[in-house]
Structure 1
Amino acid sequence: MKKTLYDILAIEADATPEQIRAAYQRATAELDHEGQHDPNKKVILREAFELLLHPQKRASYDARLARQASLQAQSAANQDKPEVTTAPAQKPKNWLAPAILIALLLAAVAVWWSVKQKEARNKLKEISATSEISPTVAASRLPAQQSVSGQGNSDSGKSAEEIYALRSPSIALISVFSPSGVQVAIGSGVMIEPQVLITNCHVVRSGVQYRAKIGKEVLPATVIMADEEFDLCRLGVPGSSAPPVVLGSTDNLRTGQKVFAIGAPQGLDLTISDGIISSLRTLASGRVIQTTAPISPGSSGGGLFDDAGKLVGIMTFQHKLGQNLNFAVPADWINTMSSRRASNQGVGALTMSSIESQSQPSPASASLWGSWACMNVQTGFSMEVSFSRNTQVSGNMNGKRFYGNYALNERSLTFVGDISLSAQVEQLGEAKMLINTDRGGRLACARTGT
């Protein structure tokens, strides 16, 4: 008998989801321990895990196994029956000529069909070789009567509805909190392994506590690996039952190919949008994906999927001065991550220094970066504050520590985090600043560090 998915994971047919998950983790750990192994084994293990962990798919699979077992039992029973031989009936001699004629006609039809199929295959190869389109798209341009037999709908891309149904159970809304428990940021994440999410490091950088909402599950998360060079962070989510996605590769991507982005723009979790691959851009770290699939703040860390439902990229940043200029780091990088800080040429540096907009920051914002000591000499209100390049702010106000993010819009300065503060920047220079706040009144500030 052929191996079943239960045999592949070495579990019983009545195994619980917890036993399935444990068996999958054990099997993948054994493969990783072996070092050199067939990568297809890991793919087969993941497909077996995903199917058996999905209740409806598992029920359908068990029913198919039962039917196969019944057919095999029936076939074995038939083989055990004694053969009954009877003398062949003699056909009238006048049937011989029509039978030969029918056989010749069937042979002629078979030859004609074989020739047509060969012509269609050659035509498909010719179209694929002379254009930058995939064989699937080339096949769709052939006349209906020349379609290659056996392809059917298996090679046709999935619809947005199918992609959403297939991958939305693996997408997380990530909430980021300060040490005091105040929410300071949101982002998206994708389940790539059992109880492991992938997201952008710039999503989690602004806080120290994290929570992942995946479907109806809301679970605490922790950073288990940070590769700031790639701007990719792995988050452990113990207790999550969300299924991992299947990883794709940029090697199979072509400009113009349709893709789908699923994430949580502006905190609206499980939002899907579609677009095309605009280009594959080369950076020092490698190729990144440029796409027209719309994203917004909060989409960072979400998944970019091809029309087969494979994860090909992690949505990372957008060009703030253009339309439909969105970028994703390739899913290929997930398997090559390591714990490291961002270099000046890495993707992490792009998001940290606001080069994601491909524009220089405003002179006012650049002048604000650094540490300041502020005082209202009339009321005694004091504040020590540090502004970072990636919109983080920290310090103390009248001796009370605070942490969060800031925004400077022309002369309007706001803090969001442990405290909420609004101010108007009346004067900003290299060494001095004068701001009028809604808490301490007019504060004179002197720079204490860069």
Structure 2
Amino acid sequence: MLTLDKIYHASYVLKEVIRPTDLIHAPNLNPESEIYLKTENLQVTGSFKVRGAYYKMSQLSDEEKSHGVIACSAGNHAQGVALAATKNGIKSLICLPDGAPISKVEATKRYGADVCLVKGTYDDAYQRALQLRDEKGYTFVHPFDDELVIAGQGTIGLELMEQLPKMDAVIVPIGGGGLISGVAYAVKSLNPDIKVYGVQAAGAPSMFNSIHGHEIQTLTEVSTIADGIAVKTPGEHTYEICSKYVDEIVTVTDDEISSAILTLIEQQKLIAEGAGAVSVAAAMFNKVPVKGKKVVCLVSGGNIDVTILSRVINRGLLKAGRSADITIALMDKPGQLSMISDIIAQKGGNVVAVHHDRADLDMDINACYLHLVMETRDHDHVEEIKRALIEAGFDIVK
């Protein structure tokens, strides 16, 4: 059974392994509330996962350790298990979905684990790990549905109670539910008045659906940039704990997650992966009642692939109105582009890409489409530029 004593024991065991991460005040994320960031993205291995993985491994018998351990993961649990196994002198094999970011795969190998890539999603990797466990006799380290793993994650809750004892609420990312189960149990056991909110990606709402449907539900598919929380089925233990201790679960879109990642980079100089930024997205876009409250957003990880980060930044710029694409239908004659660029420049915009399209069959023979990409300040600035172009007689198609 999960107990507060077990979480305190985990905290003691982890003292020599993990980094007690900072709590950073972030006043501009939501001006109507007092937001703090629990920076588990700066944890050893770049994620909170090492807490649960190491504590689980520390409690294995010598015989279990001798068989080696196996785990499945979208990436962060893999690195936690790999590091924990290596530190304990245990052989480890990690099953990862073949779509896991290359950076996470390579990091897992660097921490000393063997890697088995499995076609499909996290859940496919999970089934393969169970199969190999049964065939080879490995000891399985579950990424979330294990009370020792949950106790390890709960040490974050103990740290929060020391760092900000008067917090009103904590917002926690949810994939399978191990992190929020540990944090919610610890926080609610010490102060039942503190609200605990969970956040899932809208493209992977397995716990959200399960809690609202009052039974564990399995998604047919998941689709989100938050690969670390793209879980089709929540755990049995985590479902029960969330049902009892979590006040509300909400979802955020990929666009909102992208905006949160971009905001963390610009305002806080922090890199968060999609799964780590969902809590910040929920606070930024008022998905939970944070107005006038002292709220902690748990930034659970920072292991984002740089190629994905580039795409996410572009998506975030579009969502915030910092970048804009417009298409103008015009007569193909000298001076048109010069007039358009002059108007945009006068309004303070910056053209970064131009494409002429003369081949569309729906156009007149002497017409063209002009596709522009601009750097802008916000959505109001984009509309101001569009109005100026329309007033000058240009036809904006989109």
Q: Please, what TM-score do these two structures have when normalized by structure 1? A: 0.24
Larger RCO: 1 or 2 (CA < 8 Å, sep 6+): 2
Question: Whose helix fraction is larger, Structure 1's or Structure 2's?
Answer: 2
Which has more radius of gyration?
1
Question: Whose strand fraction is larger, Structure 1's or Structure 2's?
Answer: 1
